[in-house]
Chain A
Amino acid sequence: MSRTRGILLGCLCLLLSCSAEPEPTAKTPPLEDYGGIGGDFSLTDQSGVPFELQALRGRPILLFFGYTFCPDICPVTLSKVSQVHEILGTSQQNLATVFITVDPERDTQDKLTEYLDYFGSGIIGLYGSRAETDLVIGQYGGHYSLNKEEGMIDYSVDHSTSTYLLDQNGKVRFLFGHSDDPDRMAAVTGQLLDGP
């Protein structure tokens, strides 16, 4: 082997060894087991059809409690979820989005439909009676509180801001906070899509 060929071969090896190194990426937090919270529930969807969480078995789910009058947190969260779908290249068919209203008095079927359609098709909007809502949010370790006085229309609702990632078996596997960006949410969620 000539000296020149040797140098070229050396460079090629160096190049290959460099390209084989993984790109530096932010560490993706592992999925977790939240045995104490979550579980199946029954509510009604925005079309008025009874809904069972069990019906989504086999699909990971991003689940969130909110209300349509919410001007800030809820639209931001739904926008982030839309971005997660874009990043992962998923549709609602393989990664479901579930929005449960904590304000069923104002969030009628029409209002829920109109609101969720704004963020994309296929988002499942759910409502229930006050007792049903209390049961489900309690089951997921969340809280809400109406800041409502007599006759008030424009009241706000304090509510949990976690977005729950459920796996294909309906188990809670991660809690995203308001400060989590879509890239991080997509990285964590992607572990469920890539898994066995």
Chain B
Amino acid sequence: MAVRRLLGLACLLTSLPLGCSTSVSVDDAWVREPPPRSPAAAYAIIENSTSSVIELTGVQTDVAERAEIHVMEHVEGIMKMRRIDSVTIAAGASLALQSGATHLMLMGLRRPLRSGDAVELRLQFADGTERLVQAPVRKGGYESD
């Protein structure tokens, strides 16, 4: 574990994109252009090609005061959204962070986000590793979900 944490730290210090492990990938990251003074939702697909469970424990970004993992559940016609501390991804599985399901919330935006901007997201995992991704901001029509 200590070695993995050191490896994670090395990734962090060197800001290597998508890390030192080649078996966890983050693809198709994007941020829905938020209306003025509203929070933004961010989406991506995390693919775990390792033989172990991985756990996404957080996200950081310079563009927002707070960034959280949120899960949405549709129960009897009511959409319920809750902050969660982490989400696990089974070995060989992938997690789609998407509209109407688990996604990332960027709150307290420090500047307006407009289509064409890019947001750097730092995804943090339980083993101490991180993944840096550039998420383009785009207008999120229905077809983008």
Contact = CB atoms under 8 A, between A and B. Distances in A.
B73 to A, nearest CB: 9
A59 interface: no
A159 B70 CA distance: 16
A159 B79 contact: yes
Interface stretch (B4-12, B13-21, B50-58, B103-111): B103-111
Contacts of A70: 38
A118 B140 CA distance: 12
Interface string B72-90: 1010011111100000000
Contacts of A115: 35-38
A160 interface: yes
B61 interface: no
Interface string A135-162: 0000000111101000000101011111
Contacts of B70: 156
**Band of interface residues on B:** 20 to 34
Interface residues of A, number: 32
Contacts of B136: none
Given A79-B141, A80-B142, A161-B74, A71 B40 contact: yes
B141 A154 contact: no
19 contacts: A68-B38, A71-B34, A71-B39, A71-B40, A71-B41, A72-B72, A72-B81, A72-B99, A80-B142, A114-B35, A115-B35, A118-B35, A142-B77, A147-B82, A154-B39, A154-B108, A158-B81, A161-B74, A182-B142
Interface of A: 68-73, 75-76, 79-80, 83, 111, 114-115, 118-119, 142-145, 147, 154, 156, 158-162, 177-178, 181-182
Interface of B: 32, 34-41, 66, 70, 72, 74, 77-82, 99-100, 103, 105, 107-108, 139-142, 145
